[in-house]
Amino acid sequence: MTLAVQEIFFSLQGESTRAGLPCVFVRLAGCPLRCTWCDTEAVRTAPGRPMSVDDVLVAVAAHACPLVEVTGGEPLAQDGAPELLRALCDAGYTVLLETSGAFGLSGVPADVHVIMDVKPPSSGEQARLVRANFDRLGPGDEVKFVVADRFDFDYALEILGGLPDRRFAVLFSPILSRLDPSALAQWLLAARVMDARLQIQLHKLGHFA
Ligand code: SF4
C-alpha cells in the first residue's frame, strides 16, 4: 500500500493530553474538507510524496522517539491509513491519530489513541462529523474542540451535553488569531465543564524535519 506523505518531522506534541512531549509527526497529504480557517492548506491540496508503509517506518525510526502521531490533512481520507496505523502499533510505538471525525473509525486499530478534532460551525464543515464515532472512543482517546468564538463554544457544549457518559478526554483550544485564550478560560469555568482542559497550540513552537 502506498501513502501520499506530506512530511515526517520531530516536534513537540501540541494539543492533546500528551502536550509538551517529543513526538514524531507523520503528516499525510490531502483532505476533502474545506475548513474556512484551515492552517494546513498546502497539505490539503498538495499531492504528497508516495511512500510505502515500510518507508514511513524507516523514516519514523530515524527520530528514535516512542510517540508517533499520524495527522494530516485528513489521514483517514487515504485507504492506506489503517495499515500504517497497524504497522506503527506493531513496531511498538504509542500511536496517536488526529482526525476531523468526518470519516468512520471502524478501520482504526483499537490500540491507536484517537484525537478527534471536531470541526465547529466557524469551520463551515460541522455537518461532516460522523457522530457514531463517539461510540468508538474510550479511555485513551480524546475529543478536541478548536473554537473561534462563542457560537463554536456553545456548539461544543451541545455535543458534550448529548454524551453524558463520555469516557474520553475533552480538550478546548482557541484559534489564537480569533479568540483570546483568557475568554475561553472564563467560558469553560463559567460553564463548569469539569472534565475539559484548556490548551494552547504548543506544536507551533518547534519543528525539526
Ligand atoms: S480538516 Fe484539517 S486539513 Fe482538512 S480542511 Fe479542515 S483544518 Fe484543513
Query: What pLDDT is recorded for position 202?
Result: 62
The share of the chain scoring above pLDDT 90, in percent, equals 83
- C-alpha dist (Å) from residue 149 to 101, 123, 154, 163: 20, 11, 9, 22
Q: Is 153 strand, coil or helix?
A: helix
Query: What pLDDT is recorded for position 4?
Result: 97
Residue of 32 and 177 predicted with greater confidence = 32
List ligand 1's pocket residues with C-beta within 6 A.
31, 33-35, 38, 40, 44, 72-74, 100
Q: What residue type is 89 in one-letter code?
A: C
Query: What pLDDT is recorded for position 209?
Result: 44
Ligand 1 centroid to residue 109 C-alpha, Å: 22
> 176 φ, ψ to 5°?
-60, -30
Q: 61-96, pLDDT tens digit by residue?
A: 999 999 999 999 999 999 999 999 999 999 999 999
Q: Please say if the pLDDT value at position 110 is more than 70.
A: yes
Confidence at 44, pLDDT banded by 50, 70, 90: confident
Ligand 1 centroid to residue 144 C-alpha, Å: 14
Q: Please say if the pLDDT value at position 99 is more than 80.
A: yes
Query: Which ranges constitute the DSSP H helices of the chain?
Result: 41-45, 53-61, 81-90, 150-161, 181-191
Q: Please say if the pLDDT value at position 39 is more than 80.
A: no
Q: Mean pLDDT across the stretch 178-205?
A: 88
Q: How far apart, in whole angstroms, are the C-alpha atoms of residue 192 and residue 27?
A: 35
Q: 112-156, pLDDT tens digit by residue?
A: 999 999 999 999 999 999 999 999 999 999 999 999 999 999 999
Q: 152-167, pLDDT tens digit by residue?
A: 999 999 999 999 788 9
Domains identified in the chain and CATH numbers: 2-205 (3.20.20.70)
Of 6, 25, 31, which is best to mutate to test ligand 1, by the most ligand atoms within 8 angstroms of its C-beta?
A: 31
Query: What pLDDT is recorded for position 15?
Result: 77
- C-alpha dist (Å) from residue 174 to 147, 159, 209: 5, 17, 26
Ligand 1 atom 8, closest CA: 38
Q: What order do you get walking across the sheet with 49-52 strand by strand?
A: 49-52, 2-12, 22-28, 67-71, 94-99, 113-118, 142-147, 169-174, 196-198
Q: Please say if the pLDDT value at position 171 is more than 50.
A: yes
Ligand 1 atom 3, closest CA: 73
Mean of the per-residue pLDDT values of the chain: 93
Confidence at 208, pLDDT banded by 50, 70, 90: very low
Q: What is the pTM of this model?
A: 0.94
